[in-house]
Amino acid sequence: MTEFGKALGATETPIPGLILWDLPVHGDSRGWFKENWQREKMLAAGLPDFGPVQNNISFNDAAGTTRGIHAEPWDKWVSVATGRIFGAWVDLREGPTFGAVFTAEIDPSRAIFVPRGVGNSYQTLEPDTAYSYLVNDHWSPNATYSFLNLADETVAIDWPIPLADVEISAKDLAHPRLADVVPIPPKRILVTGASGQLGLALRSEFADSPHVEFASRADLDLASADLASARRWRDYEAIVNAAAYTAVDTAETPAGRSDAWTANVAGVSALARIATDHGITLVHVSSDYVFDGTSTRPYREDDPVSPLGVYGQTKAAADAIVSTVPRHYIIRTSWVIGAGKNFVRTMATLAERGTDPKVVSDQIGRLTFTDDIARGIRHLLKAGAAPGVYNLTSGGPSAAWSDVARAVFAAVGHDPARVADVTTAEYLAGSAGPVSPRPHNSVLDLSKIEATGFSVPDWTATLPDRARDSLRTG
């Protein structure tokens, strides 16, 4: 008999993410009423915002009808419309809880949230039982499913009505035992721009993760009209966009301006639509160039943007777009140093060649090594940190570019006094082509990301090895 008057509430189970819910049911002699799905209230109570797209009804004529055990690549909200069922759930996902079991009876006053990859099965306990389920994807023949035999001896489900006495399909009877089940893999992570400096660092950081895919522009063109159908996007939990137009000076030319807006805004906009439509977390890498550099303190995540040049304008526009995606991380960074051509390599090479450079002394910031960015991105995704903007640079003191150059000279065994200071104005006066304006203060406050448990190494401690390595690999 349906229990009336329960408060909306959740009960965790031994299977991570499988949550049993009590539903308020209001009834009298005429019958009963309940809110079977109420997004606002249920989100407030802790239900994931899983974004259902389809509602199915399963009607079972006779008591004992048994279905399952099926693990699908989507989340489900299962509730009973009439009657009563015995439910059994088995974790069929890759990981330490593979094979974990939970059972419970469900009537109209109870529902259960079944996460992707958890096998579900139901045995009706009363005639004319109907249960409904909301799912957050449409059925597809290309999706990955997994199945477990209802009579598997390892999980040993104690069915209220013996399986020998119930109605079961021949297909369900033929499912494999647990030892032969193919586990459901985790959702994928896609890294775009995987051939660039940050992309290479992300390849290294996620080298131990087979569910992470890497795509260069040749593999995935963000400007393509077919981007929305280029992947089965529901199979992805995150997109890390490491693709960007970073030629900040060339962006000041007519052709460069167009290319910068196409790559940094139109491409990001297309990814934002996909992420929003499919419940994907979008990780977007931003820049100190969104600020004008006039602040007298390190920039915080909530400081208003005020870009000086085209590149900064495109990054600020992309930030605004990504902020509309329900699940997003905007990573603000500065003075990035990665594989290939970079400031540290250039200074080390000049030192070895005997060239005494003049380096800007009135732009202040911190170096950011790409592997620190990659670690930070992985940390935010793994920790499930709150969506939003996070400053992420290497740690340590702020310094001028000329200070960094002197540190590089010293690290590779040369006299740092060979580096001379020059002002930005003096440097620009000697430039032959268009030059983007630079912020004078690029120091970013790291307290927000540090509060999530992430720590970054001091760039001054890391730099010497990087400088020496740049000569060996150059």
Query: Which residues participate in catalysis according to the annotation?
Result: 70, 133
Helix axes 310-322, 267-278, angle to 10 degrees: 10
**CA gap 230, 222 in Å, rounded:** 10
What letter would DSSP give residue 8? P
Name the maximum alpha-carbon separation found in the chain.
Answer: 95
Helix axes 459-473, 343-353, angle to 10 degrees: 60
**CA gap 150, 301 in Å, rounded:** 52
Do 311 and 244 meet the contact criterion of CB atoms below 8 Å apart?
no
**Rg of the chain over CA atoms, in angstroms?**
28
**CA gap 334, 320 in Å, rounded:** 18
Residue ranges of alpha helices (H) inside 57-181 are 170-173
What letter would DSSP give residue 7? P
